[in-house]
């Protein structure tokens, strides 16, 4: 499937298909559909009867395999195991050498079908060093009729030698109008603010309950009273939210607060601009920095602190100090 903002990219890449590379490296902003694009390409390359625009037909044997159990000439390398499933994991889950070895064996097999095999690596920066070196080796001497599709959110973190073996393809991000249209089509409430919050990248995990908690948390930060912050610390705790989640929201809020005060720019919460401006006008920037530092200090404990409520209460008490009347010098 292509997203509506990818149609030009699709035409552009198809013009390159007269001379297929050994590997494409897809780059572009996170949350804008790079993986979907790479999968669309994989399906198209393996389909028996692609249409005039080179989209996979969706009906042939190859397409059915793709949709069901998996195509025998297709492999996907992604971080595996428990680490990858833990969305809140503190470290980036890695693609391990064993997985790359298995993929290399596959690459040297004879293809089951029309002679081409496709290997998708996503995200390529998740290769651990040994795995990256193994991939590099096969990119340097690619077996016949094997095409690699690498997807990278942070291509600067790839080995330069891997990058240089791939043909780069930069994918377009949607304009904000395109992203908003799409989000509204998905029935996302408050699409404009959600999009701003997610930095203009529309493919975030939309969780209405979490969005509601975020609003509640921000409301409390706006109110700047003991009662409001104590109450919201309790809500966060009762809903079993991690300290890490609250820290993320607080840090974004503090950045916007500093932005409103210093540079007159607000990034995450433009819908709360008026309130941010008013708060920034009575903020002590030194206390604000202190609060930011405290949030940074707590970050390593974000996933496994024993008492979220206590930590959060202490942190938010520090937040309130930003707005306390100036102390005598």
Q: Which residues contact 208 (CB under 8 A, 6 or more apart)?
A: 189
- Nearest distance from C-beta of residue 46 to Zn ion, angstroms: 8
Segment 53-72, which members bind Zn ion (CB under 5 A)? Answer: 56-57, 60, 63
Which H/E stretch holds residue 168? strand 167-170
**Site stretch for Zn ion (CB under 5 A), options 49-57, 201-209, 212-220, 280-288:** 49-57
Segment 103-142, which members bind Zn ion (CB under 5 A)? Answer: none
- Nearest distance from C-beta of residue 38 to Zn ion, angstroms: 17
- Nearest distance from C-beta of residue 307 to Zn ion, angstroms: 55
Q: Which is nearer to Zn ion, 56 or 283 (CB)?
A: 56
The 10 Å CB-count burial string (b at 16+, else e) for 228-265 is bbeebbeebbeeebbbbbbbebbbbbbbbbbbbbeeee
Q: Which residues contact 305 (CB under 8 A, 6 or more apart)?
A: 243, 298, 311
Is 235 one of the binding residues for Zn ion (CB under 5 A)? no
**Site stretch for Zn ion (CB under 5 A), options 50-58, 208-216, 259-267, 286-294:** 50-58
Q: Which residues contact 127 (CB under 8 A, 6 or more apart)?
A: 94, 95, 100, 121, 135
Q: Which is nearer to Zn ion, 39 or 237 (CB)?
A: 39
- Nearest distance from C-beta of residue 146 to Zn ion, angstroms: 20
- Nearest distance from C-beta of residue 58 to Zn ion, angstroms: 6
Residues binding Zn ion: what is the number (CB under 5 A)? 5
Q: Which is nearer to Zn ion, 71 or 96 (CB)?
A: 71
Q: Which is nearer to Zn ion, 60 or 230 (CB)?
A: 60
Q: Which is nearer to Zn ion, 57 or 211 (CB)?
A: 57
CA contacts within 13 A on the Cβ side of 201? 15
Q: Which is nearer to Zn ion, 36 or 57 (CB)?
A: 57
- Nearest distance from C-beta of residue 54 to Zn ion, angstroms: 11
CB-CB contact of 23 with 165 (8 Å)? yes
From 279, 276, 278, 291, select the one nearest 321 (Cα to Cα). 291
Residue 240 backbone phi and psi in degrees, to 5: 60, 35
- Nearest distance from C-beta of residue 65 to Zn ion, angstroms: 9
Residue from 35, 38, 47, 147 in contact with Zn ion (CB under 5 A): 47
Q: Which is nearer to Zn ion, 57 or 104 (CB)?
A: 57
Place of tokens 């202190």: 290
DSSP string, 239-302: TT--HHHHHHHHHHHHHHHHHHHHTS---S-GGGHHHHHHHHHT--HHHHHHHHHHHHHHGGGT
**Site stretch for Zn ion (CB under 5 A), options 30-38, 42-50, 161-169, 304-312:** 42-50
Q: Which residues contact 8 (CB under 8 A, 6 or more apart)?
A: 172
CA distances from 89 to 92, 96, 267, 292 (A): 7, 17, 25, 22
Q: Which is nearer to Zn ion, 40 or 96 (CB)?
A: 40
- Nearest distance from C-beta of residue 107 to Zn ion, angstroms: 23
**Site stretch for Zn ion (CB under 5 A), options 46-54, 129-137, 153-161, 208-216:** 46-54
Q: Which is nearer to Zn ion, 63 or 241 (CB)?
A: 63
Instruction: Name the site residues for Zn ion (rule: CB under 5 A).
Output: 47, 56-57, 60, 63
């Amino acid at each position: 499937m292509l997203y509506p903002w990818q149609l030009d990219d699709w035409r552009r890449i198809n013009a390159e298909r007269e001379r297929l590379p050994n590997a494409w490296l897809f780059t572009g902003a996170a949350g804008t559909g790079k993986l979907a694009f790479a999968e669309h390409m994989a399906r198209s390359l393996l389909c028996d009867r692609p249409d005039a625009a080179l989209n996979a037909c969706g009906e042939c044997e190859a397409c059915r395999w793709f949709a069901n159990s998996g195509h025998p000439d297709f492999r996907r390398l992604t971080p595996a195991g428990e680490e990858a499933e833990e969305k809140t994991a503190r470290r980036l889950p890695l693609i391990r050498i064993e997985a790359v070895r298995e993929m290399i064996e596959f690459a040297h097999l004879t293809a089951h079908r029309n002679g081409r095999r496709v290997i998708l690596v996503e995200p390529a920066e998740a290769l651990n060093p040994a795995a990256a070196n193994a991939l590099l080796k096969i990119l340097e001497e690619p077996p016949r009729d094997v095409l690699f599709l690498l997807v990278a959110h942070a291509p600067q973190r790839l080995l330069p030698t891997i990058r240089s073996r791939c043909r780069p393809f930069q994918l377009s991000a949607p304009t904000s109008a395109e992203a908003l249209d799409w989000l509204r089509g998905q029935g996302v409430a408050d699409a404009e603010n959600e999009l701003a919050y997610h930095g203009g990248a529309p493919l975030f995990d939309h969780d209405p309950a979490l969005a509601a908690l975020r609003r509640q948390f921000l409301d409390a930060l706006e109110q700047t009273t003991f009662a409001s912050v104590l109450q919201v610390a309790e809500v966060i705790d009762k809903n079993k939210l991690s300290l890490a989640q609250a820290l993320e929201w607080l840090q974004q809020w503090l950045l916007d607060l500093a932005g409103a005060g210093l540079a007159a720019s607000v990034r995450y919460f433009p819908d709360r601009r008026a309130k941010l401006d008013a708060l920034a006008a009575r903020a002590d920037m030194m206390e604000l920095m202190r609060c930011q530092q405290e949030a940074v200090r707590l970050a390593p404990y974000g996933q496994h602190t024993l008492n979220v409520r206590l930590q959060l209460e202490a942190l938010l008490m520090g937040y309130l100090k930003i707005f306390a009347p100036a102390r005598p010098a």
